[in-house]
């Protein structure tokens, strides 16, 4: 029966997965998120540093039951400066992560079409800014969105002296992702098609290459940006709202709301493992969903954590502010983000393979399994699973098919409900994917010590699932 199922999946499922994994637009989207990694890591480190010097000491004092658990970093000279610098780093990365993504998306999409990548990145940025609503704010004053909204009501009374158009930072963070993905793709594809059709300005051979390439991109860029600007203008005239608002309201919010359904989360978990069974990199195949839907939610959590820290996050969860409908003073935290899988389910790599290695070293009598486990335990501690996945192998190994699918699903269930019930803080920080299990969850949840316990429980459950199948493998000939 297992062989028949495997044969059916190889015939019907694998070709589809291969096509998805090789689709150039999805590859460009995946590479765009990967390309942003330096900026996102810089922002994550800045947020973690702010947490360590700003609020982590209070948590330590509470754990040791100190009489005075108050901590004010502004009163500690060196730490206060470190915290201030980290805030500036966060401002230059996470606060404008949507802008960074716009360039990365345009660059990689142009690369996929084999046209001028730099011009593609510029077109992507232009396509974003062309659709942003202008906000009038005083030149000499830095104001919050709420303050700007109040002042805008009094513009008529005060006149327009000392005012100029400006953009709100809230329009350049992860909330801009869907607009960038849709309108940035449209603009860059138009630009690329015109470049490929040779509708360009050609310069003499004597002109330096950099100048020649810039002139080649002029007409395609003008046409692409004008076309998306016309779309922005027409839609705003017809609906009374900017396209970025319409996309956020009617596309991004429904997808992101659906993303918090346990059914959606389990489906993604299941298919990642299923693709891996056939030797296909599951997270890469599903990168458009994982990074396009759940990653922006993680950035939102990160920005929130930077402002209210772990205690504030816990309070929001306790009060049920886990979606926009239940926001408290406009603030809410998302329960499940992109990093939640890495923290609580994919320890050792997709499938929770570090627990498989432990089960093999404890129970297996097969020399081949034990040899691979000994070689794979070191990279597995850093979530590098390929030596085990292809060396054991797990790929197309029918005896390990069920635990490969079931282990991560059970781990996700444990972590999801522990988070929903307030037993552990949601994942709010981005940590390097090579961070070892347990430490990953501890850091990703903003240094919530309860994450260690939840991870250990999830790992124990995964271990128990792997155990009988490792034992059964002892009875199967090589």
Check whether residue 71 and residue 160 sit in a common domain: no
Per-residue pLDDT, averaged over 444-473, amounts to: 91
pLDDT, greater one: 433 or 419: 419
Query: What is the total count of domains within the chain?
Result: 3
Q: Is residue 199 part of a domain?
A: yes
* Residue 4 domain flag: no
Q: Looking at the structure, do residues 373 and 322 belong to the same domain, yes or no?
A: yes
Residues 311 and 189 in one domain: no
More confident residue, 321 or 56: 321
461 occurs within a structural domain: yes
| Confidence check: pLDDT of 92 > 80 | yes
> In the chain, pLDDT over 70 holds for what percent of residues?
81
Asked if the structure places residue 277 within a domain, the reply is: yes
The predicted structure's pLDDT at residue 142: 44
Looking at the fold, whether 162 and 178 belong to one and the same domain comes out as no
Pick 478 or 169 by higher pLDDT: 169
Burial 403-431 (b: 16+ CB within 10 A, else e): bbbbbbbbbbbbbbebbbebbbbbbbbbb
Return the number of other C-beta atoms located less than 10 Å from residue 41's C-beta. Answer: 14
Domain-ending residue, one of 259, 281, 307? 259
Same structural domain, 85 and 221: yes
Least confident of 80-84, 144-148, 259-263: 144-148
Domain stops at, among 259, 293, 309: 259
Domain assignment present for 397:
yes
With a threshold of 0.75, does the pTM exceed it?
Answer: no
- pLDDT tens digits, residue range 195-237? 999 898 888 877 788 888 888 889 999 999 999 999 999 988 8
Is there a single domain that holds both residue 335 and residue 301? yes
Instruction: Kindly state whether residues 112 and 209 are assigned to the same domain.
Output: yes
Of the residues 166, 188, 211, which one is the last residue of a structural domain?
Answer: 166
Q: Are residues 300 and 363 in the same domain?
A: yes
Q: Residue 327: is the preceding peptide bond cis (ω within 30°)? A: no
Q: Are residue 243 and residue 346 in the same domain, yes or no? A: no
Same domain for 50 and 101, yes or no, is: yes
Q: Which helix (H) or strand (E) holds 178?
A: helix 177-179
Task: Give backbone dihedrals phi and psi of 197, rounded to 5 degrees, phi first.
Answer: -80, 0
| Average pLDDT score over residue span 434-462 | 91
Q: 279 with 351: CB under 8 angstroms?
A: no
Q: Are residues 423 and 317 in the same domain?
A: yes
CA angle 245, 249, 251 (to 5 degrees): 110
Same domain, 233 and 362: no
The answer to the question of residue 336 being in a domain is yes
Tens digits of residue pLDDT in 263-299: 999 999 998 898 888 777 778 677 767 877 888 888 8
pLDDT top residue among 46 and 20: 46
Does some domain include residue 69? yes
Say if 11 falls within a structural domain.
no
Domain containing residue 145: 135-166
Token pair belonging to 456: 């250990």
**What confidence score (pLDDT) does residue 205 get?**
77
């Amino acid at each position: 029966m297992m062989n028949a199922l495997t044969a059916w999946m190889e015939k019907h499922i694998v070709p589809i997965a291969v096509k998805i994994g090789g689709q150039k637009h999805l590859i460009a989207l995946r590479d765009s998120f990967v390309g942003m990694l330096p900026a996102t890591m810089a922002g994550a480190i800045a947020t973690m540093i702010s947490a360590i010097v700003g609020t982590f000491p209070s948590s330590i004092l509470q754990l040791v039951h100190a009489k005075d658990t108050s901590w004010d970093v502004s009163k500690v000279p060196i730490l206060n400066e470190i915290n201030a610098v980290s805030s500036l780093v966060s401002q230059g990365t996470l606060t404008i992560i949507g802008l960074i993504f716009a360039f990365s998306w345009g660059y990689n999409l142009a690369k996929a079409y084999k046209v001028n990548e730099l011009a593609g990145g510029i077109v992507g940025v232009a396509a974003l800014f062309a659709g942003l609503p202008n906000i009038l704010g005083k030149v000499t004053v830095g104001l919050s969105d709420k303050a700007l909204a109040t002042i805008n009501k009094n513009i008529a009374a005060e006149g327009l002296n000392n005012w100029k158009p400006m953009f709100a930072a809230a329009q350049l963070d992860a909330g801009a992702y869907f607009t960038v993905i849709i309108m940035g793709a449209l603009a860059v594809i138009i630009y690329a098609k015109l470049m490929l059709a040779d509708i360009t300005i050609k310069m003499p051979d004597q002109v330096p290459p950099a100048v020649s390439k810039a002139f080649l991109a002029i007409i395609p860029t003008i046409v692409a940006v004008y076309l998306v600007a016309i779309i922005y203008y027409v839609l705003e005239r017809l609906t009374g709202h900017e396209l970025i608002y319409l996309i956020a309201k009617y596309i991004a919010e429904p997808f992101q709301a659906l993303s918090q359904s346990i059914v959606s989360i389990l489906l993604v978990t299941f298919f990642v493992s299923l693709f891996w069974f056939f030797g296909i990199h599951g997270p890469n195949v599903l990168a458009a969903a994982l990074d396009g839907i759940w990653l922006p939610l993680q950035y939102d959590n990160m920005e929130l954590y930077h402002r209210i820290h772990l205690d504030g996050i816990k309070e929001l969860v306790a009060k049920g502010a886990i979606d926009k409908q239940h926001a408290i003073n406009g603030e809410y935290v998302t329960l499940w983000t992109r990093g939640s899988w890495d923290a609580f389910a994919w320890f050792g790599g997709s499938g929770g393979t570090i627990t498989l290695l432990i089960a093999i070293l404890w129970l297996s009598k097969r020399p081949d399994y034990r040899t691979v486990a000994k070689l794979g335990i070191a990279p597995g501690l850093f979530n590098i699973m390929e030596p085990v996945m292809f060396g054991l192998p797990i790929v197309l190994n029918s005896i390990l098919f069920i635990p490969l699918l079931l282990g991560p699903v059970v781990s996700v269930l444990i972590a999801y409900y522990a988070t929903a019930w307030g037993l552990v803080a949601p994942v709010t920080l981005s940590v390097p994917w090579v961070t070892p299990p347990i430490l990953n969850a501890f850091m990703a949840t903003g240094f919530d010590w309860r994450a260690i316990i939840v991870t250990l429980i999830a790992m124990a459950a995964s271990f128990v699932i792997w155990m009988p199948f490792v034992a059964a493998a002892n009875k199967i000939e090589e």
